Structure 1
Amino acid sequence: MNRAYIPGIIAMAAIVVASNILVQFLFGNWLTWGAFTYPLAFLVTDIMNRVYGAQAARRVVLAGFVVGVICSLIGTQITGEFGPLVTLRIAVGSAIAFLTAQLLDVAIFSALRNGAWWRAPLASTIIGSTVDTALFFTIAFSAGLTFLEPGNDVSWAGEVLPLLGVGPMAPLWVSLAVADWGVKLALALIALIPFRALTARLAPAS
């Protein structure tokens, strides 16, 4: 493996581990602290893609996926107040969402890489983040997928409440998903600053 990829792999692994830990701690009514660290995975992927190409980005994604699976396996063995910290549905949802969204990010970035410098990272992150949120929350909490883990009671997530406390009535998990998605969109814009700075610094001299 190219040694130049190692910092990206370490950064991705650190983000995945930190997010798996911080997701246990609430931030307000709709978010966890992990919502603020996880979106940085898209920043790492995009920087690797811009500087080293799609193959390097996919290797970093694969490393993050493996670390995420390990974190989920560890989480299933730790019992909290309401049972295992990581249920099967959360583990499956997290794995599928991460791999699908990150690989989609790589593909979209690659297709747009020759345009304006901001277009590829912004479009790939927004679309990837949207897919990530939709897949994870649907798989982990939707009542329609109870068959994935019949013994896991997620009825609490289906409680119908005003969306984000002020909008139309919707299942609680939809509010959680919308809040998470909003943070991802905000960070997609903010991340353009470090993306521009770091790619300029890491780009090989011509």
Structure 2
Amino acid sequence: MSIGATTLPSSPTLVGLLWPTRNEAGLAALRAIVLMAVGSALLTISAKVQVPLPFVPMTMQTLVVLLIGATYGWRLGGATVALYLLQGALGMPVFANTPPMIAGPAYFAGPTGGFLFGFLAAALVMGFMAERGWDRSLLRVALMMTIGHAVILFAGFCWLSVLLPVAKAWSVGIVPFIAATFVKTALAVALMQAAWSITRRGGKSA
């Protein structure tokens, strides 16, 4: 008697329900390209909506990252954030405070580098949890978004601790963002709950 590997159940994400994947390879590729382009554009726009701070500007990117991961799933969400990071690495001015002359790989060595890689990790975590149904109940989605923000802040703090003394990294990389993190977490939860409520109503009336 052989025991096979246990596979965790996967639930459709919000985008997966609204725009299901087709069997045709061409249509599936087109879907992925469109969604990745839209997601990376939203990340770029959210990077420019910011409150200037001495080391790390406060932007709406963390909110958008978490929503992309939660609605796209871990594969497509991770690929979308990876595309965004690649655009910045290639010199496109997609990051916060990046005119073309200072965009590029060197930007990742700056104080925001850890947060950027935290975006990718958080999108993967959010997508994985969403595919297990964590995006559908109020308490679970609140915990899910809290974990996502914690992943981003932890990654950012770790890299800042390399560049700055630990106490300084904490004071400039974590403390100024605590209040905004609570607000953006609550907003992400509200948006996810509203989106699922509309989707469920639409499904019942169809």
TM-score normalised by structure 1 residue count: 0.61
Task: Give the Cα–Cα distance (whole angstroms) in 1 for the partners of residues 55 and 202 of structure 2.
Answer: 37
How far does residue 201 in structure 1 lie from its aligned partner after superposition? 7.4
Contact 1:30/1:179 (8 A) holds in 2 = no
Q: 149, 154, 158: which is aligned to 1:138? A: 158
Q: Which residue of 2 aligns with 1:48?
A: 72
Task: Give the Cα–Cα distance (whole angstroms) in 1 for the partners of residues 151 and 193 of structure 2.
Answer: 23
For residues 131 and 38 of structure 1, do their structure 2 counterparts lie closer, same or farther at Cα, with a shift above 3 Å needed? Answer: closer
How far does residue 97 in structure 1 lie from its aligned partner after superposition? 0.3
Task: Give the Cα–Cα distance (whole angstroms) in 1 for the partners of residues 201 and 101 of structure 2.
Answer: 41
> Cα RMSD (Å) of the superposition?
4.0
User: 1:78 is matched by which residue type in structure 2?
Assistant: M
Task: Give the Cα–Cα distance (whole angstroms) in 2 for the partners of residues 195 and 30 of structure 1.
Answer: 35
TM-score normalised by structure 2 residue count: 0.61
Contact 1:45/1:106 (8 A) holds in 2 = yes
Q: 22, 27, 36: which is aligned to 1:9? A: 36
Structure in which a larger fraction of residues adopt strand = 1
Q: 79, 96, 100: which is aligned to 1:62? A: 79
What SS does the aligned partner of 1:191 have? helix
Q: Which residue of 1 aligns with 2:101?
A: 78
Q: Which residue of 2 aligns with 1:26?
A: 52
Task: Give the Cα–Cα distance (whole angstroms) in 1 for the partners of residues 175 and 113 of structure 2.
Answer: 21
Q: Which residue of 2 aligns with 1:151?
A: none
Which runs of 5 or more residues in structure 1 are unaligned?
50-56, 147-153, 160-169
Question: What does the per-residue CA deviation read over 1:77-105, in whole Å, with 9 as the maximum and x for residues that have no partner?
Answer: 5359xxx9935134631342012111111
What SS does the aligned partner of 2:174 have? helix
Task: Give the Cα–Cα distance (whole angstroms) in 1 for the partners of residues 173 and 66 of structure 2.
Answer: 23
Q: Which residue of 2 aligns with 1:106?
A: 127
Q: Which residue of 1 aligns with 2:148?
A: 128
Which runs of 5 or more residues in structure 2 are unaligned?
1-24, 92-97
Q: Which residue of 1 aligns with 2:195?
A: 195
Task: Give the Cα–Cα distance (whole angstroms) in 2 for the partners of residues 11 and 192 of structure 1.
Answer: 18
Q: Which residue of 2 aligns with 1:182?
A: 182
Contact 1:12/1:63 (8 A) holds in 2 = yes
Question: What does the per-residue CA deviation read over 1:116-141, in whole Å, with 9 as the maximum and x for residues that have no partner?
Answer: 544553332221121112212331x2
Task: Give the Cα–Cα distance (whole angstroms) in 1 for the partners of residues 203 and 33 of structure 2.
Answer: 16
Contact 1:69/1:91 (8 A) holds in 2 = no
Percent identical pairs in the alignment equals: 15
